Amino acid sequence: MGAVTTAAAMTAVPACSPAPSGSPSGPSASGPAPAGGSATGPATAPAFPESTGQPSGPRPLYLGTYTSAEGGGTGIGLAVYDPATGAVTGRGTLTGVTDPSYLAVHPDGRTLYAVCEGQDGKVTAIRLADRRILGARSTGGAGPCHLSVHPTGRWLLSANYTSGSVAVHPIDDSGALGERTDLVTHSGPPGPGQQGPHAHQVVTSPDGGHVLAVDLGTDTVHTYRLDTRTGRLTEVARARTRPGAGPRHLTFHPGGRFAYLANEVDNTIAVCTYAPDTGRLTIGEPQSTGAEEGTNFPAQFLVTGDGRFAYLANRGHNSLARYAVEADGARLRLLGTTPVAGDFPRQIALSPDGGLLFAANQRSGTVSVFRVDRASGALRRAGEPYASPLAVCALPL
């Protein structure tokens, strides 16, 4: 178990080893990032107002990066965005967190969580009111690349890519993390070209009844039940993609009965049916990413809050695919692609009100912002991309 470092005694998270390489998921896929303006300034910038989900002046934007990779940042980027225009303004950097490649916020909006994607994986909690680091905990694995907060707000879930495992940490009333309560290592035969399990994402189903972990290395999506008293995971189902698909990220439709899977390795997507009573996921036939020419690694899906449209980040094709969601979530119809105005869009996110879409472009070190047409789902770029070193995650609040 990782030792606790309290906020009172801590000024920086202990350094981690460089993030894993050898996959489009690791920093080596980015190559050297071009020089460019990242947000610079004091680590203790003034606190942003709490998010209300409605446009009301400048809103906070947090940016993840790799600090151990060439051309990377020095911590979590701090910025604000205008919800009306999409303009982004830098507000400094929160230092003391190494390789914060993925970020998530507590449901109450008071605490930010970051992975430390190194060989000695960690997760870190940061109090947003004063930018105070509340401590770091070991994930018990290597290369944590994704994390999410359980809807109860009492548990943090993280996925260790390199070691193929999923960790659970309790969250106390202050937002700080306790000692790990569980660590589940995936098993099963590796997919073609893979050496073993690679847990790439862990999320909770919309009904809150199950935790799903996507494993790229074994072409599998695992379903668990989380005991919300003990923080222990019990596996209840497994769904397998076709061999070599390399599933990366799963995103649920708001209706809760369907989900959309991005397959990184074979450049496809799939519509999945989810059964809330059993947690069983049924993966549908492969569909187009809209990027059939050249090498492409689909990264992440988004679904609009009204469930009418879905977006997919295409790394390589450097586009955002737009889909119409039909039959109450059961079908996706490709409408076209929009150039992302950057290189290698690793992660995408919608603003809380759904009016803006942010794309973190790893190789170009930029964040592109698009206005979302609510009637058609069409995307229109909102100004020039914002420069941020090795941008691999953008979290608008």
In the block, which residue shows the tokens 């953008």? Answer: 394
- Cα–Cα distance for residue pair 154/228, rounded to 1 Å: 8
Residue 56's pLDDT is: 63
Residue 271's pLDDT is: 98
pLDDT tens per residue, range 340-382:
999 999 999 999 999 999 999 999 999 999 999 999 999 999 9
pTM above 0.85, yes or no: yes
* Six token digits for residue 371: 């206005």
Residue 45's pLDDT is: 39
- Cα–Cα distance for residue pair 203/210, rounded to 1 Å: 9
From first to last of its 397 residues, the chain has per-residue pLDDT tens of: 332 222 322 323 333 433 333 345 543 333 323 223 333 333 333 344 444 445 568 999 999 999 999 999 999 999 999 999 999 999 999 999 999 999 999 999 999 999 999 999 999 999 999 999 999 999 999 999 999 999 999 999 999 999 999 999 999 999 999 999 999 999 989 999 999 999 999 999 999 999 999 999 999 999 999 999 999 999 999 999 999 999 999 999 999 999 999 999 999 999 999 999 999 999 999 999 999 889 999 999 999 999 999 999 999 999 999 999 999 999 999 999 999 999 999 999 999 999 999 999 999 999 999 999 999 999 999 999 999 999 999 999 9
Q: Which amino acid is at 346?
A: R
Residue 24's pLDDT is: 56
What residues pair up with 297 in beta bridges, in sequence order?
315
Q: What is the 3-state secondary structure (H, E, C) of the chain?
A: CCCCCCHHHCCCCCCCCCCCCCCCCCHHHCCCCCCCCCCCCCCCCCCCCCCCCCCCCCEEEEEECCCCCCCCCCCEEEEEECCCCCCEEEEEEECCCCCCCCEEECCCCCEEEEEECCCCCEEEEEECCCCEEEEEEECCCCCEEEEEECCCCCEEEEEECCCCEEEEEEECCCCCECCCCEEEECCCCCCCCCCCCCEEEEEECCCCCCEEEEECCCCEEEEEEEECCCCEEEEEEEEECCCCCCEEEEEECCCCCEEEEEECCCCEEEEEEECCCCCCEEECCCECCCCCCCCCEEEEEEECCCCCEEEEEEECCCEEEEEEEEHHHCEEEEEEEEECCCCCEEEEEECCCCCEEEEEECCCCEEEEEEECCCCCCEEECCCCEECCCCCEEEEC
